Amino acid sequence: MKRLNPLYVGVALVSLLLFFALKLSGVKEELALAKEEYKESALAINELSSLKGAYLGKEEVKKSLQRILTHSSLKGANIEQKLKTNSIMLSASSIDKESLNSLMSKLLNGAYEIGTLNIKKLSDNKASLEVEIQW
């Protein structure tokens, strides 16, 4: 029976060692990429959750709009509300500029998702308004 040459065994071990070293470096690069993707997705999730908390739900939107519309500066504005399945439509055929300014400052400074906003100037002191607020 012939013996194995120790040189062949050494070459085989060295080649296996090089093969596994290359595989290990490739896996390290993949791990670094996976860590970066995880950090990016974690940041995106945090941002989305904070945005979701910033916008109000259906009941909160209704309550806050009722509070805004019962404000003393908007009592004589004759603002109509039309409730839809996923939004509420506010409209006024003739609203004075002080009431419009007050309403718009409250709506734009609040956390509302405004779908459509149409303001048409009727005269120097009057305008028509249509606002759709979604939830």
Q: Which residues touch 88 (CB under 8 Å, ≥6 apart)? A: 61, 62, 65, 81, 82, 132, 133
Q: How far is CA 51 from the centre of its chain?
A: 5
Q: How far is CA 66 from the centre of its chain?
A: 25
Cα separation, 64 vs 90, in Å, equals 13
Paired tokens of 28: 């390290």
**What is the amino acid identity at position 46?**
N
Mean pLDDT of 96-120: 89
Whether 115 contacts 132, CB under 8 Å: yes
The pLDDT tens digits of the residues spanning 109-123 come to: 888 888 999 999 989
Q: How far is CA 135 from the centre of its chain?
A: 13
**pLDDT-above-70 percentage for the chain:** 97
What mean pLDDT, rounded, does the chain reach? Answer: 88
Q: How far apart are the first and last CA of the chain?
A: 84
Q: Which residues touch 56 (CB under 8 Å, ≥6 apart)? A: 64, 111, 112, 135
- pLDDT beyond 80 at 126: yes
pTM of the model: 0.58
**Strand pairing of 113-121 and 126-134?**
antiparallel
